[in-house]
Chain A
Amino acid sequence: MQATTKNICDQQLMQQICQGNEKALSQIIDRYMHDVFRMSYHLLDDTAKAEDITQDTFITLWDKPEKWQPSGTLKSWLLRIARNKSIDEIRKRKLQINIEDTNIESNDIKQDAHIFNREISTLLHMHVKALPERQCEAITIVHFLECSNTEAASIMNISVNALESLLARGRRKLRLSLKNNKDIIKGEI
């Protein structure tokens, strides 16, 4: 991103996109592509499909920029589009996650820090995926994509109270589920 355009706010960029400015789209992609991709990936567990949905999400933004209401953040709007597309995909596939298959023996963990972190990441991902769908979404959006509770409630189309309840239940379940792997993620919880 160029220094001169760094401080252009999302709203200004969206106005430029409405006028067909591809450079503005490029900047929006720089800002939010990773979040949109990770949102889909963590819901679907499928890199190719998550990339597909990321493409579709930004194409939707390009085709219908007027649909964004500046009363909400652009990030939450994009995540909502990606989330809805991912949920549609999940319904199509009826994904089944089997946590037993994802247990990692501590002997398999390599000492190399990078690989070790990747193992923790994989393990964490599997445990979050094993939560009930709504709790998984809430945890992913708030704790891992760093959205506020208000933004997350808007993305999931629920009240802030309902979101907080999902978060509390999700965190409790996740902590309980991760306790069995304390050796692997020693120091992390």
Chain B
Amino acid sequence: MTDKSDKNWINDLAPCYRWPDPSHDLKQKIMRKVNNSNTHINNPTLIFFKWQSIMALAICMIMGASVQHVTQTTTVTSSQYENNIYSDEYLLFAQDITHQSN
């Protein structure tokens, strides 16, 4: 087996390897995270409102905030939501909800 023919068969397989695609909303999440990272750094009140936000989050969850609502409102993608708990992201989500309810 020559090295050249080795390359040919593996290049033929390459299309099979071009998967998976990331979540459809990943780009949107990255752009949101860019905004949030600025907000995070420039917003000292975030820590102060932490408990208030957590309480708001708890109320949202009890009231039945959907996965879709969480993924649309935060930088969490649907697959991340299914696999992980991102406390910072939930905090931002809660903060958004707090602002909305105010």
Contacts and interface: CB of A to CB of B under 8 A. Distances in A.
B22 A37 contact: yes
Given A47-B79, A48-B82, A124-B17, A175 B6 contact: yes
A59 B33 contact: yes
Interface residues of A, number: 43
A75 interface: no
A100 B9 CA distance: 24
A50 B14 contact: no
Interface residues of B, number: 33
Interface in A26-67: 26, 29-30, 33-34, 37-38, 41-42, 46-48, 50-52, 54-55, 58-59, 62-63
Contact of A37 (B6, B14, B26, B75): B26
A144 B22 contact: no
A55 B1 contact: no
A120 interface: yes
A75 to B, nearest CB: 15
Nearest to B25: A51
B35 to A, nearest CB: 8
A30 B82 CA distance: 25
Given A48-B84, A51-B23, 10 more contacts: A29-B31, A37-B26, A41-B20, A48-B77, A51-B77, A62-B37, A118-B19, A171-B7, A175-B1, A189-B9
13 contacts: A29-B30, A47-B20, A48-B82, A51-B29, A54-B30, A121-B16, A128-B17, A143-B13, A171-B6, A174-B10, A175-B6, A175-B9, A189-B13
Interface of B: 1, 3, 6-7, 9-14, 16-23, 26-27, 29-31, 33-34, 37, 75, 77, 79-80, 82-84
Interface of A: 22, 25-26, 29-30, 33-34, 37-38, 41-42, 46-48, 50-52, 54-55, 58-59, 62-63, 117-118, 120-121, 124-125, 128, 139-140, 143-144, 146, 168, 171-172, 174-175, 185, 188-189
